[in-house]
């Protein structure tokens, strides 16, 4: 089946889970990644049981904390 991963079309097996996709895509620091499927946020507790479907669009997002930039 075909899915869209970060804007790139991929051919993957039927029933692929979000957890398996993270491994297949060699996502760095998967414990810190936020995943959306068709613009819906997926709870990390559900990565193992969330199966992807034909034409799903998946994005990997990393939220970074910031600080304050001060010029003296």
Residue 50: give its domain's CATH number.
3.10.20.30
pLDDT at res. 48:
97
- Report if residue 7 sits inside a domain: yes
Q: Number of helices (H) and strands (E) in the chain: give both, helices first.
A: 1, 5
At residue 48, the 3 state secondary structure works out as coil
CA 63 to chain CA centroid, Å, is 13
- Report if residue 40 sits inside a domain: yes
Domain around 20 = 2-62
pTM: 0.85
- Report if residue 71 sits inside a domain: no
pLDDT tens, position by position, for the chain (72 residues)?
Answer: 999 999 999 999 999 999 999 999 999 888 889 999 999 999 999 999 999 999 999 999 987 776 566 565
Q: Which residue has the tokens 């297949």?
A: 24
- Report if residue 13 sits inside a domain: yes
At residue 23, the 3 state secondary structure works out as helix
Q: How far apart are CA 9 and CA 3, in angstroms?
A: 6
Q: Which residue has the tokens 């970074």?
A: 64
């Amino acid at each position: 089946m075909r899915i869209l991963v970060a804007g790139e079309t991929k051919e993957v097996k039927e029933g692929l889970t979000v957890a398996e996709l993270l491994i297949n895509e060699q996502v760095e620091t998967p414990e810190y990644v936020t995943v959306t499927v068709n613009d819906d946020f997926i709870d990390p507790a559900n990565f193992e049981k969330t199966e992807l479907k034909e034409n799903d669009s998946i994005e990997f997002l990393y939220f970074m904390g910031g600080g304050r930039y001060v010029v003296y």
